[in-house]
Amino acid sequence: MEKEAPARDHLFISYATEDAHFAEWLTLKLTAEGYKVWCDRFKLLGGEPYPQDIDTAIKNKTFRVIALLSNHSIKKDNPVKERTLAMNLGKEREETDFLIPLNIGGLKPTEMDWMLNNLTYIPFHSNWADGLKRLLKKLNEINAPRLLQKGRNIASQTFLNDLSGNIEVAFETLHSNIFQFTKIPSFVYKIKLSQPYEWYELRRLLDIWPHRYVNQVTLLSFQHPPEEVMSDLAINKIEQINWQESSEIESIPTKNLIKELLLKSLETKGIELGLKRDQKRRLYFPKGLFESNNLLYKDYSGKNTFTAYIGFRNRTHPGREYDYHLSPRFTIREGESDNFFLQLGVQLYLTNKDGAPLRGKTILRRRKNLCKNWWNSQWFSKHAAISHFLSEGSDEILIGQESSTQIKLSNSVLKFQSPVRIVEQQLAEDKLEEVEND
């Protein structure tokens, strides 16, 4: 009786040791999607044990070989041998995609050997999420076996087990990017105009007076119109509405209205303190706002320090130089019992050396390249510096002059307590030992 051929149902990850962290991440992602994966970082992960004989495993048990291409893997013997075997098997079986190359190092075609030049690779070097999406689409198109029923459980448990020796039961303080509004006016002003205005005619007023345009003759705001607005508009009547007693105001859900007015109030505060708007009306820190283009803030220990709100790149390459400006993003979140919170985001606004905004597809790549080495401490410093700027060095961010209509926002981020923590020093020592033993 003829012996049945073994099932080819595994994905084999071929990589260089220097790319081990990416190989681990990809293995867990593919396992979570239900694929059986062979990666020597995991001896057993939902499939069969990692094979002793790599050649036999690739020939007889592997559905596809996924090769991680980088400056390291294109030069090392084992990854080269595994790719060569996969390509030869693909030709022999007339399976043009038996080898699936992933460009994780941003290699150019001229940097690859002649065997890889004609292959269509999946780019991972600029965006892992987009690369994973393309890879999963490819695996679906070629009907790759998805045999793990509980792939997500296997992947998550493997991740937790990997950390088990580096987790201890001890409280750790977690800093968020969330700030709480401590005072919001109890009423909004309803302003009736004696002549109609289009919304775009009044948009310029947002930089000095935050309001909601309802229709041609009706505006809503937390703040009484300032004198310059009063002299500019034909105002017929102003009345107060207690927003906490109504689910809708002028057919607008009250909670949505409050969030919009809080957002616009923060933007107006930023403009008042010197921020500028870009062509899409997003806020950014302009050059020269402060001496040396630095923002003061307090670090974790409460010590006064500073961080730059503008930076420069590629000054040695004429025509390619550009500046980047910190650009705060405000998102208003709703809590329970009429509590509202600010979620502070930090983005970048890019300009050429003359201050004109950059355009085109290169902007996203440059932003990612700038931020790829910004870790928690760097992001914390920028969030803390922006909140310190908005509060003008005090404990609260104050918006508005009159006490009855003033908005107050805490200058301290919400902090949370985790009952367990990762011993990062031990984790780093373990990773170093792994590399030294490879």
Find the helix or strand (DSSP H, E) in which 162 lies. helix 151-163
Average pLDDT over residues 322-349: 93
The pLDDT score that the predictor gives to residue 182 is: 96
DSSP line for 223-271 = SPPPHHHHHHS-EEEEEEEEGGG-SEETTEEHHHHHHHHHHHHHHHHHH
| Sign of the alpha-carbon dihedral angle for 218, 219, 222, 227 | negative
Confidence of residue 312 (pLDDT cuts 50, 70, 90): confident
The pLDDT score that the predictor gives to residue 435 is: 43
Query: Residue 167: helix, strand or coil by DSSP?
Result: strand
Angle at Cα 211 formed by Cα 270 and Cα 333, nearest 5°? Answer: 65
- Decide: 222 and 210 in contact? Cβ < 8 Å: yes
Long-range contacts of 221-228 (CB under 8 A, 24+ apart): 221/188, 221/189, 221/191, 221/261, 222/184, 222/185, 222/188, 222/189, 222/261, 222/265, 222/400, 222/405, 222/407, 223/189, 223/265, 223/400, 223/402, 223/405, 224/189, 224/402, 224/405, 225/189, 225/191
Task: Give the integer Cα–Cα distance in Å for 164 and 142.
Answer: 37
User: What are the residues whose beta carbons fall under 8 Å from the beta carbon of 262, sequence distance 6 or more?
Assistant: 181, 184, 332, 340, 342, 407
The pLDDT score that the predictor gives to residue 432 is: 46
Angle between helices 128-141 and 20-32 (to 10 degrees): 50
Strand bridging mode 10-14 / 62-69 = parallel
Confidence of residue 222 (pLDDT cuts 50, 70, 90): very high
The pLDDT score that the predictor gives to residue 168 is: 74
Average pLDDT over residues 75-94: 91
Average pLDDT over residues 133-142: 94
Query: Residue 28: helix, strand or coil by DSSP?
Result: helix
Find the helix or strand (DSSP H, E) in which 380 lies. helix 376-391
Name residue, tokens 């002003």: 189
The pLDDT score that the predictor gives to residue 249 is: 96
Please, is 213 exposed, middle or buried when counting C-beta atoms within 10 Å of its C-beta (0-12, 13-18, 19+)? middle
Domain architecture of the chain: domains with CATH = 10-167 (3.40.50.10140), 178-418 (no CATH)
Task: Give the integer Cα–Cα distance in Å for 409 and 397.
Answer: 5
Average pLDDT over residues 54-66: 94
Q: Highest-confidence range of 122-126, 372-376, 410-414, by mean pLDDT?
A: 410-414
The pLDDT score that the predictor gives to residue 265 is: 97
- Decide: 183 and 408 in contact? Cβ < 8 Å: yes
- Decide: 86 and 48 in contact? Cβ < 8 Å: no
How many other β-carbons are positioned within 10 Å of the β-carbon of residue 368? 12
Average pLDDT over residues 254-272: 97
Q: Which residue(s) pair with 310 in the sheet?
A: 325
Task: Give the integer Cα–Cα distance in Å for 209 and 328.
Answer: 19
Confidence of residue 298 (pLDDT cuts 50, 70, 90): confident
Q: Could you read off the pLDDT of 273-294 as tens digits, one per residue?
A: 999 999 899 999 999 999 889 9
User: What are the residues whose beta carbons fall under 8 Å from the beta carbon of 249, sequence distance 6 or more?
Assistant: 188, 190, 220, 241, 243, 257
Average pLDDT over residues 27-31: 94
